[in-house]
Structure 1
């Protein structure tokens, strides 16, 4: 007798099953199964399961174990299976209701509204109704209740299980009850792992689920101990006297013939303005033409050039219309327009969407695709029907405003964030399994040394390929078992999460396509992840947050507030030599995409002098193409080279004969082989995927096209081989262009509004003292003063006052951002007149520890009081305030002018701020410096200089002349990299140590456009 196992829970019953979907499909095929079922506690994996079954030629049976218990009730599970598409949609509805509303006393009426197309099974002791029968089998009210539930569904069964004593004790009574009331019955076996030997993996998963509760203990039930996949032979043995129950499982399987419809895309129609009598196609065209005229008005173009824009626009509009995406473009246009009208900065674009002129003239992007040679087909290929993907960047703090605007416009149930899953990565799998196994922390730390935190190879690869790990596994059974169990859960879902940027907007309520849940922030999110959402036909909108836009927004706002000058980044020159001078110097702290040491080196060597140089640098500085950097630099500065073929030299000339951009592949295929740009993009995709059959077919088409264009086949083969070899290294030019524009905007602000730029950077790095010190050094080299906080000037940010920059209050130890804001609120009633005034007005807000920390930071230095007195007089002021009346004038009080010794005041300041701003370690050398003519590092001149500085780092290097060193030194004004040649280093090496202060003799020389420093002598101080 055949048995269909209906109650199977998978990895998508999060941390409640050890069954991986891929393993389930393999098991089914290996055991000759034709149909398989899932009945997870939710719908997270339902669509993936469906697609996997279709791919593996298996019949999918999709169910859900829905817990309909209200908040105060015990478990009340009902198993619901979709036997057609309507039933599947109702499962989506019910899963959504369970998450968004829950079930109360009216739970059966809710079920009744969504019962069509569904088969229902009450699963033995998991059903509240059936558990009641165990207590009182003669209760007529319970029978009526059961029959009422039966009446809700066209197909209704009682599920009978024999997995534990409790189920067995209920079995006979339920069987009689069902017979007496003409209710069908079916054999059930709750399954959470496939093979009996997988029980250990299941136990580990369940114990991990308890980690969040502070322990790894879990009492396994007999049902769980018997939760393996039940095969036909064992099912027939267990239900030997009840073959009708096995027949019923087949009956249910035969009833289930679900086919999930895929009928195009499901994004909403754009709501046209009231009174409009045109469709979205005409409206988009009208907007685009108006937008083009606005864009062209700011350009100096002749008629021929203007026609290039007009023809490109008509071509793109035609493609967009034919592919059915007019409404999509209008939707994106609408929320970008909302952002701009609400003073929310919008990025210039991201990815291939910048290649669309329509996007540019609608204001979705701010990068001219014709000016920057960007291709529309790289974005939207008319020869490959797929959704356009327009990513839009907004500041971090504005993304939710856009999201809520969409909800308001389209409706709460038509807009949702896209769900995703946090999975067990190699490191987290090892960590969690080690925790439940009781593996020592020291052992775990040793193992983790061999597992990268990011982009780690699989645990199996590590176990086989890392010799030290292999030895540990061979020599210790616990470690062997640790790696075995961890590898079994690797990449399994561990928790529900939310996609970083994905938002979906539907033409109908989204639970017609995907179940919804509520995210941790209270907003709706899909249970299906992005790949499933797109496969269904829902459209993912990427509304991204880019912290650099926050930085830009803040700088622009601060400049306007402090200077009255308005900056319009859409109107600045993108050919400013001063900006390129900054980039070419490598002074790129805080410049998006250009901060790394390797990129700085490239910028200097490339001597960046145009935005095109920045685009090339952005694209080539990546794994693979960066090997060509030396060749690029040599060729830029005059090294001759032979092109690949004269017919395509013009395509590669801007990049000095090197394929750097994907778009160059498209242009080569178009010009050399007569491909359309759409066909050429298919070639690019084939090269990227490296599928042999596709590449072979593409080669044939390429050779045929090249031959028809008059090229020799040998030459054509060489060109094709070159494309295949280097094409995969190519970077999306659109992406490089738009991000280089963001970087240019930041460089522009840094060039012309330097203190505001650096203040914003420092605010973001307030907790990173090392980074702050680097920024301080850069500011000092430009002769800006970094001052301690001043209670009447400082705020929650770095305050710029001419060449003075005041440290923020919230950067002081003990002072949180909230406390700092409260201090500022009190100050709104008038500045603090003196120390006593401050203590008394803030005594309800600040404790003594906070006030002393402010005093030690220098916040009260502008008052007539020493830091020592501020520390010592606090208690007296508080005591005296108890006897003063509200409104009494606070007079200046004469305090002792005795200050702490230099060592104490310096240490106190360092404790309060994390470093010294006023009383640094160089103060004690002030008299010596004056007497012998010491120069500050910021003031050194060409020739010999005496400086007092601290050694920050030492790097030794073997040169032809012997061992030499590069050191970094700093004083309170600046820092410099200094070379010590071998002839000098041999004499001073034994006396040179990091973190020590010395009197240095430094020689400064001019080389090209920069100064070079080398050390000739030193004296320890």
Structure 2
């Protein structure tokens, strides 16, 4: 039976996974998986690398994210009634609209909802649910917790919310991380008797949640999917994963036990360290998942059908740069061509205004010293026309205008901006628009270091912004 991992973490789940996106893709290809999802915690940092890695080994990539939903509002930055700061759900991208929505959710989770972890809330999710598939979440999720606490009324309310919002794109996530006593002893979990018991208790809770989810599936017609919430590549990697968890918490795995005089006696396990209740969070094969879910084979098979719904592909064939909307066009309807013409005209207008502001008699006198055989203003005009022709022919006007826009905003807010650095200081257009404050003719700076007819790649403008207020500009 085939299976698609729909809940997978990589090293981009910061300090919570040891698996690289490249190794995950390669392992998926080794196992003959038709597709693979990446669902890192709160972010899409690994999406591009993951997509390319999957394409390289002919595995269908599915972009997703494990997002945390605040119990009430993402704006509420305090614990409420003993609840967690947020409860995880898994979102998978179906199409381009879904990708844009997931990007928005992830961004807002950091910008507006961050509290221990990036968080969204149900209001934000309702605004950006289109094009997304939702899995109910792992054992840490709200639905699993409500099952454990047997809060049936709230459980039904939670299920109704997600079923109404996502319809047939809402799935109940079944997880099962079984460890035998023999496996526990092999992994030396018996060094601490409480740990073995805690692991058995965890498995019992997991089975209780799983059985109730299957009941709910039958009652409400919500399909189930089998996932493994994987954090590492191979089973033996659990030790590295545990060390990583303690890097996150800052606790050493072992500490010195000391005698009555305070002298170090022997190394012992740190009782404050983080431990895993299971060592089964590795990237499993379809065969392993089928054996694990022999009683629920439909949950394994359904993962393939979920993967078939996901048709989004990142487009690397073109570059998608932002365009500049001139102030007089804001709030109006216009064609792409009208905007392009208006933006070019706006850039020329800025340059003309810049000539009046920047080139007083003193500045022109300095140019005359450098170019004694020409009228100073003629030198300025010739350089401006040369640069403008090259910039417009290469379609770089929008690029310069966007840089002009955020620098002008920063200066308007009283945020210090550097005078110019790098090749951009050689452009008279950068000088005239206020991007730089270095007059290139006086210092004999070459525009061709910035842009030239043979250069294929985009030019770069180095901008120095006051470190204390840089985030405002970003």
> Which TM-score band (shorter chain)?
0.7 to 0.9
Consecutive unaligned residues in structure 2, runs of 5 or more: 72-78, 179-202, 256-269, 331-337
Query: Is the contact between residue 69 and residue 77 of structure 1 (CA under 8 Å) also seen in structure 2?
Result: no
Shift of 1:37: 1.3
* 2:422 corresponds to 1:351: yes
Task: Pick which of 110-119 and 281-290 moved more.
Answer: 281-290
Q: Relative to structure 1, is the Cα distance of residues 347 and 16 closer, same or farther in structure 2, using a 3 angstrom cutoff? A: closer
Once the two structures are TM-superposed, the CA of residue 111 in structure 1 deviates from its matched residue by 2.2
Match of 1:31 in 2: 31
Cα drift, residue 196 of structure 1: 1.4
Aligned to 1:147: 160
**1:296 positional shift:** 3.1
User: Counterpart of 2:48?
Assistant: 47
Residue 119 (structure 1) aligns with: 133
Q: 1:246 to 1:296 in 2, by over 3 A?
A: same
Shift, 1:197, TM fit:
1.9
Match of 2:206 in 1: 167
Q: Choose between structure 1 and 2 for higher RCO, CA contacts under 8 A separated by at least 6 residues.
A: 2
Q: Cα deviation per residue 1:783-836 (whole Å; 9 max; x = unaligned)?
A: xxxxxxxxxxxxxxxxxxxxxxxxxxxxxxxxxxxxxxxxxxxxxxxxxxxxxx
Greater C-alpha radius of gyration: 1
- Whether 1:207 aligns to 2:261 is no
Please give the residue correspondences for 1:690-839 in structure 2 after superposition, counting only pairs within 5 Å.
none
Aligned to 1:296: 364
Q: How far apart, in 1, do the equivalents of 2:277 and 2:228 lie? A: 12
Aligned to 1:14, the other structure's residue is in SS state: coil
For residues 342 and 236 of structure 1, the distance between their equivalents in structure 2, rounded to whole angstroms, comes to 60
> Is 2:113 the counterpart of 1:102?
yes
Residue 279 of structure 1 aligns to a residue whose secondary structure is: helix
TM-score, normalising length: structure 1: 0.36
User: What SS is found at the alignment partner of 1:159?
Assistant: strand
Cα distance per residue 1:994-1018 (max 9 Å; x no partner): xxxxxxxxxxxxxxxxxxxxxxxxx
- Please give the alpha-carbon distance, in whole angstroms, between the structure 1 residues aligned to 2:415 and 2:107: 33
Q: Distance in 1 between matches of 2:287 and 2:90?
A: 25
CA apart distance, 1:367: 4.0
CA drift of 1:360 comes to 3.2
Q: Which residue of 1 aligns with 2:276?
A: 221
TM-score (norm 2): 0.73
Counterparts in 2 of 1:143 and 1:53: CA distance versus 1, 3 Å: same
Once the 2 structures are TM-superposed, how far is the Cα of residue 191 of structure 1 from its aligned partner?
A: 0.5
- Return the alpha-carbon distance in structure 1 between the equivalents of residues 243 and 395 of structure 2: 50
1:24–1:270 CA distance, 2 compared to 1 (3 A): same
Tell me which residue corresponds to 2:92: 81
Is this contact kept in 2: 1:124–1:158, CA < 8 A?
Answer: no
Distance 2:136 2:412 in 1: 55
Q: Structure 1 residue 372: deviation in Å?
A: 4.6
Matched, 1:19 2:19: yes
- Cα deviation for residue 208 of structure 1 reads 0.7
Cα deviation, residue 55, structure 1: 4.5
CA contact (8 A) 2:424 2:462 kept: yes
1:252 aligns with 2:306: yes
Give the superposition deviation at 1:123: 2.8
| Cα gap change, 1:121 to 1:14, in 2 (>3 Å) | same
Query: Per the alignment, do residues 125 and 198 of structure 1 end up closer, same or farther by CA in structure 2, a change over 3 Å counting?
Result: closer
Match of 1:153, SS state, is helix
SS of 1:62's partner is strand
Answer whether contact 2:40 2:65 (CA < 8 A) is retained: yes
- Structure 1 pair 142/201, CA: closer, same or farther in 2 (3 Å)? closer
Aligned residues of 1:185 and 1:248 also touching (Cα < 8 A): yes
Q: CA deviation at 1:340?
A: 7.1
CA distance in 1, matches of 2:132, 2:122: 14
CA distance in 2, matches of 1:114, 1:352: 41
- What per-residue deviation string (whole Å, max 9, x for no partner) do you get for residues 32-71 of structure 1? 4342211111113233323433454432112222221433
1:317 maps to 388
Question: Once the 2 structures are TM-superposed, how far is the Cα of residue 243 of structure 1 from its aligned partner?
Answer: 1.6
Match of 1:378 among 449, 459, 473: 449
Question: Which whole-Å CA distance do the structure 2 matches of 1:141 and 1:61 have between them?
Answer: 32
Q: Would you say the 8 A contact 1:82–1:118 is kept in 2?
A: yes
- The equivalent residue for 1:232 is 286
1:3 match: 3
- Compute the displacement of 1:352 (Å): 1.0
Name the SS of the counterpart of 1:112 in structure 2.
Answer: helix
Partners of 2:225 and 2:415 in 1: CA distance = 59
Deviation at 1:364, TM superposition (A): 3.4
Partner of 1:265: 321
241 and 350 in structure 1: CA distance in 2 versus 1, 3 angstrom threshold: same
Shift in CA distance, 129/287, structure 1 to aligned 2, threshold 3 Å: closer
Please tell me whether the aligned partners of residues 326 and 342 of structure 2 are also in contact (alpha carbons under 8 angstroms).
no
RMSD after superposition = 3.5
Extract unaligned runs of 5+ from structure 1. Answer: 407-415, 417-1021
Q: Counterparts of 1:28 and 1:218 in 2: how far apart (Å)?
A: 32
**Structure 2 match to 1:194:** 233
Residue in 2 that maps onto 1:59? 60
Q: Is the 8 A contact 1:272 1:280 kept in 2?
A: no
Q: How big is each residue's C-alpha offset from its partner over 1:244-280, in whole Å with a ceiling of 9 and x where there is no partner?
A: 1111110111111112356621154343699xx9833
CA offsets, 1:555-603, max 9 Å, x none? xxxxxxxxxxxxxxxxxxxxxxxxxxxxxxxxxxxxxxxxxxxxxxxxx
CA distance 1:381–1:31, shift in 2 (3 Å)? farther
CA distance, structure 1, for counterparts of residue 353 and residue 154 of structure 2:
72
